[in-house]
Amino acid sequence: MTLSLTINGTRHDIASDPDTPLVYVLRDELKLKGTKLGCGLEQCGACAVMVDGKVVLSCVSPVEVFDGQEITTIEGIADTEIGQRVQQAFIEETAAQCGYCTSGLVVAATALLSDTPAPDSAATKEALTPHLCRCGSHPRVLRAIERACAS
């Protein structure tokens, strides 16, 4: 049985085994390398994607779970106006150091602002708490999200 996934608006027939976690399908089969692998344990947020508008960690759930759903990865974030605003704000605030956590955070911030256009700082911090950054870019990420709301 082949699966089909809609990723960033394009349908893909998937050849991977249905038990393969989504992140490996994205990175290795579809060569979408923007989604990162940090733990494979749903503990760090590096692998976040959006599924039907909600943040989902892609490193554990098998790809078959996503059959027929709309998936947005970091490569498709700029397709929405909110996503563009978030990316622009991250650039203006230089909200990254090594950048390994950044795509997950951009995805999470876009999902947050799509749901809540002007979250307060507590709501933003709560939404980002599943995401780790080991370089301490947190203050800049928080400033970037504020900037994205204001623009």
Partner 1 sequence: MSLDAYPLVSDWLTPEQDRLLIHTGKVDIGQRISTALVRIVQEELALPPGQLGIAPVRTGHAPDEGITSGSNSIEQSGRAVAAAAATLRARVLDIAVAQQGGEPANWVLEDGFVHRTGTNIRISLIDLAGDLPPNLPIDPDLPRHSPAQSPKPDMRGITEMVTGTFTFLHDLDLPGMWHARRISPPHAKATLQEIDGSAIDKAEAKGIQVIRDGSFLAVAGPREWDVVKAARSLGIACTWDLGGGFPETDVFAHLAPENADRFPVVDGTPQKAPVPDALDAPDLSARFERPYQMHGALAPSAALAEWTGTELDIKSHSQGIYPLREAIADSLELSTDKVEITHVPGSGCYGHNGADDAAFEAALIAIALPNTPILLKWSREDEHAWEPFAPAMAVQVDAKMTDGCVTAFSAEAHSDTHRGRPRPGPNRAGPAKLLANRFRADAMAPYIAPPNMGKHAGMHRNLDPIYAFPEKRLVKNLVQNLPHRTSAMRCLGAVTNVFAIECTMDDLASQTGMDPIAFRQAHLTDPRASAVLRELERRLDNRGPRPDGTGRGIAYAQYKNAMTRVGIAVDVTVTDAADVRLDHAIIVADSGRVIDPDGLTAQLEGGFIQAASWALCEEVTWDRDGITSRDWDSYPVIRFDNVPDIEVVLLDTFDNPSVGAGEASPGPTVAAIANAIQDCTGLRMRRMPFTADALKQAALAL
**Interaction site with partner 1 (CB under 8 A):** 16-17, 20-21, 24, 27-28, 31-41, 43-44, 46, 73-75, 77-78, 87, 90-91, 94-103, 106, 124-126, 128-129, 131-142
Q: Which among partner 1, ligand FES, none contacts residue 47 (Cβ within 5 to 8 A by kind)?
A: ligand FES
Establish if 62 lies at the interface with ligand FES (CB under 6 A).
no
User: Each residue of 43-72: b (16+ CB within 10 Å) or e?
Assistant: ebbbbbbbbeeebbbbbeebbbebeeeebb
State both tokens at 141.
């990420």
Q: Which residue in the set 3, 16, 27, 38 belongs to the binding site for ligand FES (CB under 6 A)?
A: 38
Q: Name beta bridge partners: 6.
A: 11, 70
Minimum separation from the CB atom of position 90 to ligand FES (A): 11
Distance of CA 14 to the CA centre of its chain: 20
Asked if 56 and 50 touch (Cβ cutoff 8 Å), the reply is yes
For ligand FES, which is the closer residue by CB, 82 or 141? Answer: 141
